């Protein structure tokens, strides 16, 4: 889950390549917090006031834990986050019988504690994390790329693709058509060629475009030509909007593999156009409403 590729880790000073089950060596101070579950003094951690964009990793195993977009200043003296990368953090009852401890899901390293009911952000949650438990990778070093996929209602596509390790964000929006910055109502009721699309931002040193595209074909029905599930209409068709000839060739290869397996693939390939972000209501819809996708699900096809 958490292993960095050689190319990625080589760009990051003081991070070494790990094999599964191996851990970084720790200083006595780091061990005291990460292994023995101590707490560093408030307002002393190197990441407390860090506002640079990037990703926070586990100091012991390099597992991606938090995105900078979820960090906020709580005034508590430790880095605070109101969300974690999907599946990266495990909650366990603290030995004091009152608090909830948070540890790295990959290696069990002690991170800090999680609190709810403080109403500091809309998500109403605070991960209070020791800086000494973290490493930070600036976005500039990550060399992220963007990819665009349409597979029915963008809520479901976003839900599954944002779970992938190496994907830093998935944004729901629109592409195609003749209007500039269309609204959801326009797309639904007076469609002028717009298609519901997700913009995937990912680190190619952690996950490849082909890996994302394979999952895309497995979380929706690429054989349905008129929409996706119960969502029927031109705005819900299956399309890969490629940004380069390399992406186009990868998509053609995957479609060819599916056709060899007997699938009548309806997915279209089109060059990427201007992407318009959808209204905030549509972003992370299922996470906000604590629901499951109704017309998307995982089916192994490759």
Q: Cite the active site residues.
A: 128, 153
Query: How many CA atoms within 13 Å lie on the side-chain side of 238?
Result: 21
CB 126 within 8 A of CB 114: yes
**DSSP SS3 for 268:** strand
**DSSP SS3 for 123:** coil
Q: Cα angle vertex 266, ends 260, 268, to 5°?
A: 110
Distance (Å, whole) CA 227 – CA 166? 28
Distance (Å, whole) CA 88 – CA 84? 7
133: which 2 tokens? 């438990």
Partner residues linked to 149 by β-bridges: 198, 240
Q: Cα angle vertex 150, ends 149, 155, to 5°?
A: 105
């Amino acid at each position: 889950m958490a292993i960095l590729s050689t190319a990625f880790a080589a760009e990051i000073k003081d991070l070494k390549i790990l094999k599964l089950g191996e851990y970084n060596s720790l200083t006595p101070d780091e061990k005291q917090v990460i292994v023995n579950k101590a707490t560093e003094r408030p307002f002393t951690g190197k990441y407390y006031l860090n506002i640079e964009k990037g990703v926070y990793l586990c100091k012991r195993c390099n597992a991606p834990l938090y995105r900078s977009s979820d960090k906020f200043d709580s005034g508590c003296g430790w880095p605070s986050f109101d969300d974690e990368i999907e599946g990266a953090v495990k909650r366990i009852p603290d030995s004091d019988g009152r608090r909830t401890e948070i540890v790295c899901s990959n290696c069990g390293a002690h991170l800090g504690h999680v609190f709810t009911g403080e109403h500091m952000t809309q998500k109403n949650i605070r991960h209070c994390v020791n800086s000494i438990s973290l490493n930070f990778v600036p976005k500039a070093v990550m060399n992220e790329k963007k990819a665009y996929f349409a597979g029915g209602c963008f809520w479901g596509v976003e839900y599954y693709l944002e779970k992938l390790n190496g994907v830093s964000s998935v944004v729901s929006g629109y592409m195609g058509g003749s209007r500039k910055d269309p609204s959801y109502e326009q797309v639904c009721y007076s469609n002028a060629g717009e298609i519901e699309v997700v913009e995937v931002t990912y680190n190619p040193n952690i996950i490849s475009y082909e890996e994302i595209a394979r999952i895309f074909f497995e979380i929706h029905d690429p054989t349905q030509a008129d929409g996706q599930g119960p969502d029927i209409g031109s705005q819900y068709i299956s399309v890969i909007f490629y940004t380069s000839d390399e992406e186009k060739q990868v998509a053609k290869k995957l479609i060819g593999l599916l056709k060899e397996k007997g699938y009548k693939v309806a997915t279209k390939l089109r060059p990427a156009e201007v992407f318009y972000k959808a209204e905030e209501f549509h972003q992370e819809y299922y996470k906000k409403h604590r629901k499951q996708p109704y017309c998307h699900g995982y089916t192994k096809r490759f």
